[in-house]
């Protein structure tokens, strides 16, 4: 069976929006993910779901080019097909009335916090969103969040928009905005989730992170996505992907994420597979993360 690509576009440098026609669109819940494969010989990769439309039967995901497989995805055009689309997978995010909820997103995580923000708002929470990037030209979907949530905040490393700095400024931002969240949820790269968890641990704010380890089957059979949470072995595909950020063994997780770095990146450099953006070398992306 083949799955039709409705749209694929680079929404900001090195981050792509992928819309796929799939009946699974009617089954997705906030926080879940899907697994896709660009061709018959391609790697299976997990992508967090950023939006879904049951009426149209489509699922929207964002991905970052980090290796050969994601570069093949980045070459897809509307009307193309992919051989593999599996999902929705994983447990949905816990949605309830917590009071004030702060959602933090960076990179591909900016998109994947959107359905959680909608669900949290529908559950009666006061919802604030904080997104971060190296510069303002790497931000996206700002209009969607501004229309939806009660407070919208930005951090950029170069200070071109919002607060200047990175997520370590979170305590200062909370103080300036007079914001006292009852729950924090973080989606994005490992650095963002780890540092945000470090900050909220000191502030004693319950924090959930959407983990994105290396993954193969997505059903708990292969064990590749295992991580340690609270001293126990967990599998992100069936036990997660959401976990308590204060209980994750981040040191172990970071080591496991580097396991196939050479196998992912070296073939890309040798094969020439990649978009014009990548091949130009003008904006080499430093965040080597899966999605």
Annotated binding-site members for [2Fe-2S] cluster: 222, 225, 237
Known binding residues: 222, 225, 237
- Reported as type and span, the H/E element at residue 119 is helix 114-122
In sequence order, the 6+-apart residues with CB closer than 8 A to the CB of 81 are 2, 3, 4, 5
Q: Measured over all CA atoms, what is the biggest interatomic distance in the chain, rounded to whole angstroms?
A: 53
The answer to whether residues 128 and 149 touch, using CB atoms and an 8 Å cutoff, is yes
Strand order from edge to edge, sheet including 163-164:
163-164, 151-156, 126-133, 100-106, 183-187, 207-210, 242-244
CA distances from residue 269 to 97, 110, 231 in whole angstroms, order as listed:
48, 28, 38
Nearest 5°: CA angle at 247, between 244 and 250? 105
CA atoms lying within 13 Å on the CB side of residue 219: 4
Pairing of strands 207-210, 183-187: parallel
What is the C-alpha separation between 151 and 179, in angstroms, rounded? Answer: 9
In sequence order, the 6+-apart residues with CB closer than 8 A to the CB of 174 are 180, 181, 203
What is the C-alpha separation between 177 and 226, in angstroms, rounded? Answer: 37
């Amino acid at each position: 069976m083949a799955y039709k690509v409705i749209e694929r576009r680079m929404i900001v440098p090195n981050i792509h929006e992928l819309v796929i026609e799939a009946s699974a669109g009617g089954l997705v819940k906030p926080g879940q993910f899907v697994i896709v494969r660009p061709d018959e010989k391609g790697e299976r990769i997990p992508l967090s779901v950023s939006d879904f439309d049951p009426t149209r039967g489509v699922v929207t995901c964002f991905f970052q080019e980090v290796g050969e497989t994601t570069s093949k995805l980045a070459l897809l055009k509307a009307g193309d097909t992919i051989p593999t689309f599996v999902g929705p997978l994983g447990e949905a995010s816990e949605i309830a009335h917590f009071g004030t909820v702060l959602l933090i997103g960076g990179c591909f995580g900016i998109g994947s916090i959107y359905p959680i923000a909608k669900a949290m708002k529908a559950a009666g929470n006061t919802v604030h969103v904080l997104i971060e990037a190296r510069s303002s030209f790497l931000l996206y979907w700002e209009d969607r969040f501004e229309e939806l949530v009660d407070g919208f905040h930005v951090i950029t490393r170069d200070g071109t928009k919002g607060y200047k700095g990175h997520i370590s400024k979170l305590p200062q931002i909370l103080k300036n905005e007079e914001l006292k969240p009852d729950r924090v949820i973080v989606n994005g790269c490992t650095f963002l989730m780890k540092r945000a968890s470090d900050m909220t641990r000191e502030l004693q704010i319950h924090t959930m992170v959407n983990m994105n380890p290396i993954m193969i089957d997505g059903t708990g059979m292969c064990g590749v996505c295992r991580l340690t949470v609270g001293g126990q072995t967990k599998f992100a595909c069936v036990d997660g992907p959401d976990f308590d950020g204060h209980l994750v063994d981040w040191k172990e997780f970071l080591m496991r994420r580097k396991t196939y770095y050479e196998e992912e990146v070296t073939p890309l450099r040798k094969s020439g597979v990649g978009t014009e953006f990548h091949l130009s070398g003008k904006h080499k992306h430093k965040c080597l993360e899966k999605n």
